[in-house]
Structure 1
Amino acid sequence: MWPMPSQPAIRGFACRVLLDGARALPADKQQRVLSRVPPQTLALFESAPRMGWVPIEESMKLTEPLHAVLGTPGFRQFLAAQADRMASYPLLQTFFDGAVRLLGLTPQALLKWSTYAWDQAFRDCGRLVYQSLGESDEGRRVEMRLEEVPPILLLEGTFAQALAGAFEMFLHRCNRKGRVELQHVGSQATRFVYDVSWE
Structure 2
Amino acid sequence: EPYQVWLKLEDGASSFGLYESLAERGIPVTELRDGRQELIQSKNDPFRLAINGVMTLGFVISMLISFFGFLIFWILSLSGRTLQFGVLRAMGIPFGQIIGMLISEQLLTSGAAVLIGVSTGNLVSRLFVPLFELSFNPAEQVPPFDIIFRLGDYLQLYGMVAVMLTIGLFVLGYRLSRVKISQALKLGEE
Verify same fold: TM over 0.5.
no
Higher share of residues assigned strand = 1
User: With CA pairs under 8 Å and 6+ residues apart, which has the higher RCO, 1 or 2?
Assistant: 2
Bigger Rg over Cα:
2
TM-score by length of 2: 0.27
TM-score by length of 1: 0.26
Higher share of residues assigned helix = 2
